[in-house]
């Protein structure tokens, strides 16, 4: 199974020898590749919708894998898992806030996990903040570009650490430290987004009176500074 760069970046973060789950698996490509690449000994591929569930079953069948290697399950979030059944959970291609809702809604499963690998489509700042507020910390991050869009991949492990600043939560604390080649592109995209919010606020007196206006203004300035490194 050949993965595109985005899914391969998730696979790269999966610990060797893990028992993993891919929640919101859709086609099941990541789950199958984790077995084929020898990363995981067992993978649960979960999806709450029947179409993707059937597609994942087909992918597993076509790749001649057994239920003991990839178990495809229909259900909401982590409810498809038993406590302690897996140590690593991957969630990709959903909003960051939905990811936090999925993690919060099954506390007995989440409590047994060691590693999270997350690729949010939006809300990465809120997701990073949630991780630090819930005794997780970020151990690695990467950026991938596909079709002109930048994707952030976050690897988190259990354990409380000091929460990074708001700007670091927006940019990605490990990305800022590692400075991968796509970082400038990533910060430019964040700056574009924040400037658009600021422009919208500048058109309304009420928004301009809100304390969020000052926050966004400071964030734009700070991102501009970061582009000068």
Ligand X SMILES: C[S@@+](CC[C@H](N)C(=O)[O-])C[C@H]1O[C@@H](n2cnc3c(N)ncnc32)[C@H](O)[C@@H]1O
Tokens 């649960």 map to which residue?
Answer: 44
C-beta of 52 vs 96, nearer to ligand X: 52
Least spacing, CB of residue 88 vs ligand X, in Å = 15
Least spacing, CB of residue 64 vs ligand X, in Å = 22
Consecutive H or E run containing 71:
strand 70-74
Question: Angle CA(136)–CA(22)–CA(115) in degrees, nearest 5?
Answer: 25
Reference 104, options 132, 123, 130; nearest CA is 130
Q: How far is CA 113 from CA 8, 81, 117, in A?
A: 21, 11, 11
Least spacing, CB of residue 213 vs ligand X, in Å = 33
Least spacing, CB of residue 49 vs ligand X, in Å = 4
C-beta of 6 vs 219, nearer to ligand X: 6
Burial class (CB in 10 A: 0-12, 13-18, 19+), 177: exposed
Q: Are strands 88-94 and 115-120 parallel, antiparallel or unpaired?
A: parallel
User: Contact positions toward ligand X, by CB under 6 A?
Assistant: 23-26, 46-49, 52, 76-77, 92-94, 102
Least spacing, CB of residue 68 vs ligand X, in Å = 22
C-beta of 24 vs 164, nearer to ligand X: 24
C-beta of 28 vs 172, nearer to ligand X: 28
C-beta of 31 vs 187, nearer to ligand X: 31
């Amino acid at each position: 199974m050949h993965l595109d760069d985005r899914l391969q970046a998730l696979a790269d973060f999966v610990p060797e020898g893990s028992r993993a789950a891919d929640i919101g698996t859709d086609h099941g490509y990541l789950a199958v590749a984790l077995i084929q690449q020898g990363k995981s000994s067992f993978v649960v591929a979960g999806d709450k919708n029947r179409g993707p569930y059937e597609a994942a079953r087909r992918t597993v069948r076509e790749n001649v894998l057994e239920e003991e290697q990839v178990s495809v399950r229909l259900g909401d979030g982590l409810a498809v898992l038993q406590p302690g059944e897996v140590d690593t959970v991957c969630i990709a291609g959903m909003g960051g806030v939905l990811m936090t809702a999925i993690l919060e809604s099954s506390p007995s499963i989440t409590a047994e996990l060691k590693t999270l690998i997350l690729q949010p489509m939006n809300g990465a700042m809120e997701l990073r903040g949630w991780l630090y507020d819930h005794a997780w910390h970020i151990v690695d991050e990467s950026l991938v570009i596909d079709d002109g869009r930048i994707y952030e991949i976050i690897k988190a492990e259990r354990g409380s650490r000091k929460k990074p600043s708001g700007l670091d939560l927006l940019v990605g604390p490990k990305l800022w430290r590692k400075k991968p080649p796509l970082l400038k592109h990533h910060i430019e995209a964040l700056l574009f987004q924040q400037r658009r919010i600021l422009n919208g606020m500048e058109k309304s007196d009420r928004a301009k009176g809100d304390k969020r206006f000052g926050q966004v203004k400071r964030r734009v300035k700070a991102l501009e500074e970061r582009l000068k490194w």
